[in-house]
């Protein structure tokens, strides 16, 4: 009987460790998949697709922009220089979020209220 209890305990412990490892990998993979998609949409200069993965409303030039407004300012924010930078940038993990530095700008990414990774905002890299 003692052997059965030990085997059950080891099985339970093994399952718990496997589940914990799967959750960590899943979180990393989620952002990795998001980042791959984001870079590809920016490289294609696909304003609609970038808007799809951006938290809206988006604050730009002290004004909140809805989807249509974001698409209008897209070219100002994602110049060819910024698009080239994003293509090779390495996101830096900051807590639960990620930062990407491109010249004078920092792009902030994290999970929105729907639990999906999105471009949250940008700021000046000083």
pLDDT digits (tens, 9 = 90+) for 13-67: 343 333 333 333 333 348 999 999 999 999 999 999 999 999 999 999 999 999 9
Cα 93 from Cα 16, distance rounded (Å): 26
Task: Read off the pTM.
Answer: 0.74
Query: Could you tell me which CATH number the domain at 2-124 has?
Result: 3.10.450
Query: Which residue has better confidence, 124 or 71?
Result: 71
DSSP category for residue 55: -
105 bridge partner residues: 102, 124
> Which parts of 1-122 fold into alpha helices (H)?
2-43, 47-52, 67-77, 80-88
pLDDT of residue 79: 96
Q: In 10 A of CB 109, how many CB atoms?
A: 22
Burial of 71 (0-12, 13-18, 19+ CB in 10 A): middle
């Amino acid at each position: 009987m003692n052997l059965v209890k030990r085997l059950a305990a080891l099985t339970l412990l093994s399952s718990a460790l496997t589940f914990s490892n799967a959750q960590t990998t899943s979180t990393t993979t989620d952002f990795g998949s998001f980042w791959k998609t984001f870079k590809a949409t920016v490289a294609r200069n696909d304003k609609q697709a970038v808007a799809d993965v951006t938290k809206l409303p988006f604050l730009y030039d002290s004004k909140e922009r809805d989807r249509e407004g974001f698409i209008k300012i897209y070219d100002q924010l994602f110049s060819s220089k910024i698009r080239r930078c994003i293509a090779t940038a390495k996101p830096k993990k900051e807590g639960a979020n990620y930062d990407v530095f491109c010249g004078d700008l920092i792009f902030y990414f994290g999970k929105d209220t729907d639990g999906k990774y999105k471009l949250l905002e940008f700021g000046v890299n000083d």
